A = this chain, B = another copy of it.
Amino acid sequence: MGAEINNYPIEKTENYKNMINGAISSLSKVQLSNWTAKQAYIGLGALICAASEQQIDICPMEGFDKEKFDEILGLKERNLTSACIGAVGYRSEEDTNQFLKKVRKPIEELFETI
């Protein structure tokens, strides 16, 4: 895809392609699924930022029934799995949680400068 977009000979990507394919094919199914899930979490981080910037709430969730989600969304047939959920929307006026203070670690604890 990169070769096509930037108009360089596909042969030049051969070594890179082999390196990537080698690295990926050496991963077990569980390792592969953890790796792709992590990449999905980068997107989840972007979604959280984009939503909150527009004052839209988002609730990122794990701990759901992945098997069931995959089944309902027909992901298995496509060799895909669900990694995480982000429920996006405007908060209800009746939601009492919105009045709670946010629970966040203090910056000094979260970051470290070396």
Binding site for B on A (CB under 8 A): 1-2, 5-6, 23, 34-35, 37-39, 41-50, 60, 62-63, 73, 84, 100-103, 105, 114
Contact = CB atoms under 8 A, between A and B. Distances in A.
Q: Chain A's interface: helix, strand, loop or mixed, by majority?
A: helix
Report the copy number of this chain in the oligomer: 2
A6 B41 contact: no
Contact of A41 (B23, B45, B114): B45
A69 to B, nearest CB: 12
Contacts of A37: 34, 38
B48 A42 contact: yes
Contacts of A105: 1
Contact of A45 (B6, B43, B101): B43
Contacts of A48: 42, 45-46
Contacts of A101: 5-6
Contacts of A62: 35, 38
Contacts of A43: 45
Nearest to A41: B41
